[in-house]
Structure 1
Amino acid sequence: MREAITTTMTDLKAYVVLDWDAFDTWLEEEHEMVGHPHDPFSRIDCLSSGRHVEISLDGDVLADSRRSVMLLETWLPVRY
């Protein structure tokens, strides 16, 4: 990984460059990605996940799952 900035590319100041050939696999949650990562600035995705999610109200558990589904939308927090 290296900084993307050069004297002629000032619009890339806050970005990094990844050497894709150095990666064995690219994982998003438990899913192997083929090709390139999704654009984080224009995205709506649903991903199955092994994360433990518990929803409760006033101390009562309403939902409990270790097979949650993540809803990923641009500029919004992850929802399950």
Structure 2
Amino acid sequence: MRSKLFSDRPETVRTEGRRWVRVFPDAGEGHRLYDPMEEQELGRILFDAAGHWIYDGQVLSVYEQEDVAGFITGHHKEMDELIKDL
């Protein structure tokens, strides 16, 4: 899956769990995740050809994983607008 982050540069997302996550596109089919506040690696989000993702790590909760994956794919904007409409 092609990265949807602009110019493959690092971006930062804030999860609903109030954790800041720095997202670094890697050379493969995924993104490395880093917590700049705690200065620790959080694992990786990997994508397959169909755009499905899987979290390769043990630190993030399921909700945080979904927040980061949505940020990477651009689906977080769709969800924000859906919530506003409700």
- Higher Rg of the two aligned structures: 1
TM-score, normalization by structure 2: 0.25
Q: Higher strand proportion, which one?
A: 1
Question: Greater relative contact order (Cα 8 A, min sep 6): structure 1 or 2?
Answer: 2
TM-score, normalization by structure 1: 0.26
